[in-house]
């Protein structure tokens, strides 16, 4: 299938999502504000926020809400970040314990100005959560740390249950979509995570609808399989504002099903592929399945 531009002003019916509401949503929002915490669910305008927050799932955003990079697709603010809050890991862990989560997802803005990219904040948060809620599995969605193996080792030594680093798009579009990132560098991060801990579950995600060809998506999937990535998420890119990259096309659900089927045939252990899928969508279900898988099948 090609990528003929079928863009229209109206979103197709399969991209409709509920506005956040309900008791569980407002309770969790109040809890986040009281602890002075951020979630990527809010900062990145996730379309699944109502569904996830209603079932008690949230992705915590570490190290503030200002990023040092300026990706063409991302709604998170770009600029000079505030000083690190070294107490943040404790507050996140207390919130995770209050929520009594079985699975927790941690991500962050990119902090290129820091020597370790903030890797120790990830590690400290994992440790704080484990002290309070030992049975809670922790998934981390990390930046590339500028391919610093020592920074990645700090995170991997804390033993996250799942290590996620998003590849985001096909190599041809990197200069436009991720101008301060590098496709090969992101592959190195995923490969090095396995090198540092061969038993770790690795995960990545890509967006479609940015102008990629279907064949390019399959090529990326093949690269990821060569690097032993276990979990792949694929979702539709949605333009957050008129200042961000335009949507080239809305990909039909049938194509997402094709991505899923081909990915499973390639050897991924889990492929989450649908228009509204985002990195943490159904992360708790993935963890429940993969973390209890016999070691020889991982």
Q: What is the mean pLDDT of residues 255-283?
A: 94
Domain boundaries, the chain: 18-297
Residue 2: its pLDDT value, please? 43
Alpha-carbon distance of 75 to 44, in angstroms, equals: 5
Q: 62 with 98: CB under 8 angstroms?
A: no
pTM recorded for the entire structure: 0.85
Res 283: pLDDT: 82
Q: What is the mean pLDDT of residues 12-37?
A: 63
For residue 169 the two structure tokens come to 């798009």
Mean pLDDT of 164-174: 97
Mean pLDDT taken over the chain? 86
**CATH dotted code for 18-297:** 3.20.20.70
Task: State the pairing for strand pair 59-62/270-273.
Answer: unpaired
Residue 47: predicted pLDDT:
54
Euclidean distance between CA atoms 77 and 214, whole angstroms:
30
Q: What is the CA radius of gyration of the chain?
A: 18
Question: What does the pLDDT read at residue 100?
Answer: 84
pLDDT for position 18: 59
| Cα 248-249-251 angle, rounded to 5 deg | 140
What's the rounded mean pLDDT across residues 30-43?
Answer: 56
% of the chain residues with pLDDT over 90: 66
Q: Is the pLDDT of residue 130 over 90?
A: yes
Edge-to-edge strands, sheet with 231-236: 38-39, 59-62, 103-108, 137-141, 162-164, 201-208, 231-236, 270-273
The pLDDT confidence band at residue 98, using thresholds 50, 70 and 90, is confident
Angle at 137 between CA 52 and CA 195, to 5 degrees: 115
Question: Using alpha carbons only, what angle is made at residue 44 by residues 31 and 141, rounded to the nearest 5 degrees?
Answer: 85
35: confidence class by pLDDT, cuts 50, 70, 90? low
Position 13 pLDDT exceeds 80: yes
User: How much is the pLDDT for 215?
Assistant: 98
Task: Classify residue 54 as exposed, middle or buried by CB count within 10 Å of its CB (0-12, 13-18, 19+).
Answer: middle
Q: How far is residue 64 from each of residues 75, 80, 141, 209, measured CA to CA in Å?
A: 14, 11, 15, 29
User: Do β-strands 201-208 and 137-141 pair in parallel, antiparallel, or remain unpaired?
Assistant: unpaired
Query: Where residue 177 falls among pLDDT bands split at 50, 70, 90?
Result: very high
C-alpha–C-alpha distance, residues 221 and 199, integer Å: 21
- Determine what percent of the chain is predicted with pLDDT higher than 70: 81
And the tokens for 275?
């228009």
Q: How far is residue 294 CA from its own chain's centroid?
A: 25
Cβ partners under 8 Å of residue 90, min gap 6: 128
Specify the higher pLDDT residue, 282 or 189: 189
């Amino acid at each position: 299938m090609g990528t003929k531009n079928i863009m229209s002003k109206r979103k197709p019916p399969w991209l409709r999502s509920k506005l956040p509401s309900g008791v569980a949503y407002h309770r969790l929002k109040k809890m986040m504000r009281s602890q002075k915490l951020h979630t990527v669910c809010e900062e990145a305008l996730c379309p699944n926020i109502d569904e996830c927050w209603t079932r008690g799932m949230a992705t915590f955003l570490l190290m503030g809400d200002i990023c040092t990079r300026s990706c063409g697709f991302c709604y998170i603010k770009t600029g000079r970040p505030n000083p690190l809050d070294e107490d943040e890991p404790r507050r996140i862990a207390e919130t995770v314990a209050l929520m009594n989560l079985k699975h927790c997802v941690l991500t962050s803005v990119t902090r290129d100005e820091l020597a370790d990219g903030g890797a120790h904040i990830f590690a400290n948060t994992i440790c704080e959560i484990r002290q309070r809620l030992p049975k809670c599995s922790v998934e981390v969605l990390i930046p590339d740390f500028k391919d610093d193996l020592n920074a990645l080792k700090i995170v991997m030594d804390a033993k996250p249950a799942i290590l996620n680093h998003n590849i985001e798009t096909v190599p041809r579009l990197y200069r436009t979509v991720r101008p301060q990132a590098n496709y090969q560098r992101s592959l190195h991060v995923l490969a090095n995570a396995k090198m540092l801990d061969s038993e770790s579950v690795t995960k990545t995600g890509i967006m479609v609808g940015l102008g990629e060809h279907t064949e390019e998506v399959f090529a990326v999937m093949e690269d990821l399989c060569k690097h032993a990535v276990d979990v792949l998420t694929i979702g539709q890119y949605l333009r957050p504002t008129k200042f961000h990259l335009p949507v080239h096309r809305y990909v039909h659900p049938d194509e997402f099903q094709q991505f899923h089927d081909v990915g499973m045939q390639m050897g991924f252990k889990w492929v989450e592929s649908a228009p509204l899928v985002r990195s943490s969508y159904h992360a708790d279900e993935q963890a429940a399945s993969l973390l209890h898988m016999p070691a020889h099948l991982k």
